């Protein structure tokens, strides 16, 4: 028996943690990021932060009414575990409200946040917070976000929130510039509305996604009950729509740098599940030539300028990560995260009783 426990002590704790219930979840979504977009990032960086994830999988993305999903339906699937039609956020095709993982996390006493490189009213972040029949309803989406219980709101979209600033400012500090953002400190809640609508591309952004992610984690991790954080590299998709491989690569690199911040925290914390995936692939992108030695890509191609039905990659790190091994539907991501949050709530409740 003594020999058994001696051998047990040699097994890394991370192996046990992979199957346990996380207290925190950080979901990274590379919008439009298929396997080839990841390939391009690896060629340029040499080694990706995503590669630190011991679990890898693949994800199907079709929506309730189309083989090729849009970001609204895919975000809803990952946020709620249920399919909906393209263009719909947080509702069934018949208009019934679907509770999101952020709302479920808040019910469990956890903090929540989003950090994105687009307007906060855009389809992916909105899909985790609001319930509207059309993703283009930016004023209504902003109103629902402002009245929500989300603790951290980092991104663009100031123009849509101007009427709701008094409401937001009663809840939390709201900053508008890079300088103000860097002077935030660690309040319990915070909003950064850094651009009128969308931020510029990665090369022109004053604050990289990694910095937004680090600050969001710093704020949310103050909650002992845990947190859920959505981080989106929004503009991988836009570069792919435009068949712009240069911008595509810089956006993948910016996104992967943010993933590094999430995994660094999870490694130290030991109670955090990190999931890295996409909502769909865009452009039918392919890497056609380049040099590993020079970390250069000299030739790329695109099938067209819209989304595809291609299976997308998934990477997972930390407690619960083994649940994501293999091939899944995007709804499985939502169902699994929700199950973990409810299990975490029950374990906290048992400990308190």
Q: Which two tokens stand for residue 204?
A: 């022109």
Residue 133's Cα: distance from chain center in Å?
22
Please name the residue that has the structure tokens 């006493």: 109
Which 3 state secondary structure label does DSSP give 296? strand
Residues in contact with 267: Cβ distance below 8 Å, sequence separation at least 6, in sequence order:
none
Work out the angle at residue 12's Cα, subtended by the Cα atoms of residues 274 and 225, and round it to the nearest 5 degrees. Answer: 40
Alpha carbon 194 to chain centroid, angstroms: 19
Q: Which residues contact 132 (CB under 8 A, 6 or more apart)?
A: 88, 89, 90, 91, 126, 140, 141, 144
CA distances from 178 to 186, 195, 198, 266 (A): 16, 10, 15, 26
Please check whether residue 37 is in contact with residue 248, taking contact to mean a CB–CB distance below 8 angstroms.
yes
Q: How far apart are CA 207 and CA 250, in angstroms?
A: 14
Cα(323)–Cα(55) distance, integer angstroms: 9
Is residue 71 annotated as a catalytic residue, yes or no?
yes
Burial of 311 (0-12, 13-18, 19+ CB in 10 A): middle
Give CA–CA dist 89/77, Å, rounded: 9
Token pair in block for residue 265: 């925290």
Of the residues 20, 71, 74, 234, which is catalytic?
71
Q: Hey, which residues are catalytic here?
A: 71
């Amino acid at each position: 028996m003594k020999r058994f426990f001696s051998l047990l002590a040699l097994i890394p704790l991370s192996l046990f943690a992979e199957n346990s219930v996380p207290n925190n979840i950080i979901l990274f979504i590379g919008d439009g990021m298929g396997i080839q977009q990841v390939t391009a990032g690896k060629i340029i960086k040499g080694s990706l932060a995503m590669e630190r994830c011991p679990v890898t999988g693949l994800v199907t993305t079709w929506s309730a009414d189309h083989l090729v999903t849009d970001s609204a339906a895919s975000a809803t699937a990952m946020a709620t575990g249920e399919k909906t039609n393209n263009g719909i956020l947080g509702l069934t095709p018949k208009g019934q409200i679907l509770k999101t993982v952020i709302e479920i996390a808040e019910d469990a006493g956890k903090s929540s946040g989003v950090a994105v490189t687009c307007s906060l009213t855009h389809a992916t972040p909105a899909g985790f917070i609001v319930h509207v029949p059309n993703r283009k309803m930016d004023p209504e989406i902003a109103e629902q976000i402002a009245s929500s219980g989300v603790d951290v709101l980092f991104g663009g979209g100031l123009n849509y929130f101007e009427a709701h600033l008094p409401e937001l400012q009663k809840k939390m500090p709201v900053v508008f510039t890079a300088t103000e953002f860097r002077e935030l400190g660690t309040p319990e809640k915070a909003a950064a509305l850094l651009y009128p609508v969308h931020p510029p591309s990665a090369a022109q952004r004053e604050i990289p996604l990694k910095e937004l992610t680090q600050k969001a984690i710093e704020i949310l991790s103050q909650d002992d009950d845990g947190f859920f954080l959505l981080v989106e590299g929004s503009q991988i998709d836009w570069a792919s729509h435009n068949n712009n491989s240069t911008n595509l690569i810089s956006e993948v690199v910016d996104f992967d740098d943010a993933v590094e911040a999430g995994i660094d925290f999870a490694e130290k914390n030991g109670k955090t599940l990190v999931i890295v995936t996409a909502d769909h692939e865009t452009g039918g992108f392919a890497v056609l030539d380049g040099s590993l030695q020079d970390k250069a890509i000299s030739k790329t191609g695109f099938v067209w300028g819209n989304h595809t039905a291609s299976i997308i990659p998934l990477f997972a790190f930390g407690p619960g990560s083994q649940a994501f091994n293999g091939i899944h539907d995007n709804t499985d991501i939502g169902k699994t995260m929700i199950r973990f949050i409810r299990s975490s709530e029950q374990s906290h409740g048992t400990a308190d009783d």
